[in-house]
Amino acid sequence: MPKRTRATKLTDVRAEKAWLKKTKPSGYVLETRDKQKTYLIVCEGQTEEQYFKAFPVVTASVKPVPLGCTKTNLVECTKHICSNEAYDEVWCVFDMDFNPDIRGQFNDFNEAISAAHLAGFKCAYSNDAFELWFALHYNFYDQQHDRFFYYEKLSQFWQMNYEKSGKELAFSRTIYARLNNDVAADQTMALKWAEKLWDEQQHKSFHEQNPITLVYRLVNELNKHLRK
């Protein structure tokens, strides 16, 4: 027997009852999310790798890769990685770490930066050492120093022997949190001071920009994607 239907009342029509209004067919609402931005960060060693790896990034995908090679070799290795995988931004992170016993360091440094830019990579280089970025969380330095100067400063700030233990994996894993939790450290000032160094020296050849660290640019980028 056919299903009985209820007669529509004239009063319901006049009252424009909701169930009498024509509606579009219901359908599933597909959830759409913006694709996460992807970052490849190719660096010289585990200190840089562990520092960037510790950023609490939630709205991007960050892949730090320590290669154990420096300057122009690092850029060439980065090209090889990018030939197999695609990333929205690629960063090469290396420093001068000047050694008077090694010839051609300035040319290698300059050529690596130029090669990175030519390949479309961004370059967070430091002169003389990556540790300048850490030290800028505490003080402003605008005089040329080698890496051992910054090792000594960090040893004082952190009450340890940075030259002896600072490069160890276990310690490297703590650096981001150490800087973030130390009331004496200020990333906001480090960002301002690093940018000030760039403003004052950007007209010079790459190897003559000392002290300088463009790590602040990469940190600014990662900070856009942090856990709120």
Nearest Cα neighbor of 88 from 36, 129, 127, 53 is 36
Q: What is the pLDDT of residue 23?
A: 45
For residues 158 and 1, which has the higher predicted lDDT (pLDDT)? 158
| Confidence (pLDDT) at 11 | 47
pLDDT tens per residue, range 105-147? 999 999 999 999 999 999 999 999 999 999 999 999 999 999 9
pTM score, whole prediction: 0.83
Helix, strand or coil for residue 73?
helix
Higher confidence at residue 45 or residue 101? Answer: 45
Ordered by start, the domain boundaries in the chain are 37-223
Structure tokens at 193: 């001071």
Say if CB 204 and CB 111 are below 8 A apart: no
Over residues 30-45, mean pLDDT: 78
Q: Please say whether the beta carbons of 74 and 60 come within 8 A.
A: no
Which has more confidence, 204 or 8? Answer: 204
Mind listing the pLDDT tens digit for each residue in 190-210? 999 999 999 999 999 999 999
Q: What is the mean pLDDT of residues 48-74?
A: 95
Sheet strands (E) in the chain: 37-43, 60-66, 89-95, 122-127, 212-213
User: What is the rounded CA–CA span in Å between residue 104 and residue 117?
Assistant: 20
